[in-house]
Amino acid sequence: MTSNKCKGILVGALTTVLIQSSSLTMVTQIGLINAGLLTLEQSVGIIMGQEIGTTVTAQIVAFPIGNFFFLMIIAGFILYMFPKFRKYQHIGQVLLGFGILFLGMKTMSGGAKGIMDYPIIIDTLARFGAIPILGVIAGAIFTGIIQSSSATTGLVIAMGMNNVITLPAAITLILGANIGTCVTGFIASFGSCKSAKRAAFIQIFMNVVTVAIFIPFIQLFSSLALFLQSYILLWMLEKEP
């Protein structure tokens, strides 16, 4: 499936949409590269795809697969520990690993939601977001700490709904979140082979360059988003009986 760039992009996007985590996709890639099951060249396409897929994760609320981490841990433990299921031991290891990862990410995401109760943090993010460069840095640092760009995006959306932040400021924080999410892959690459470390650096390089390209056009994207919002609202009103 990753024999060429287009297939790799598709795999990366679909995988990230399904598991709702670009960080988890990256960590899995590093593990596969370290095990010799994936080449650095193949991973480039997947990295590009996961950055596309992560834009969808904030929209998915109907089927949060991460909520099933407890069942994954139990199933993985049973398959891995009991001799009766010895031939399924590797599947058990995978389920156990994913379950623990989901547990950790859910814990961090839950902590991020509680940040709305701390005005000083919200105010700081809003103030930094008003200045593009500082907003990107703040978004990157915040996401690097909680290790979840989806949680950062969710927090920024909540801030916007409460009129705490402007749209351009929200965009700068989300751009920064795309850089901060690279921290998980970077940490996971410690102790790995050279190709795995290079894959982590490729993700960082791609995201930093992409953000640098889009920073000058933040106001343009903000205006475009507002225009589309108005257009959709008018279209919906016209369709009403």
Q: How confident is the model over 22-47, as pLDDT tens digits? A: 888 888 889 888 888 888 888 888 88
Structure token pair of residue 74 = 């139990």
- What is the reported pLDDT for 201? 93
- Mean pLDDT over 43-60 rounds to 78
Q: What is the mean pLDDT of residues 124-141?
A: 91
- Give residue limits of the domains in the chain: 5-63+118-239
pLDDT band at 95 (very low <50, low <70, confident <90, very high): confident
DSSP state of 29: H
Q: For residue 15, give the DSSP letter.
A: H
* Position with higher pLDDT, 224 vs 19: 224
Residues 6+ apart with CB under 8 A from 171: 218, 221, 222
State the DSSP H helix or E strand holding residue 72, giving kind and residue range, or none if neither.
Answer: helix 69-81
Q: How buried is residue 10: exposed, middle or buried, by Cβ count under 10 Å (0-12/13-18/19+)?
A: middle
Residue type present at position 98: F
How far, in Å, CA of 96 to CA of 70, rounded?
A: 9
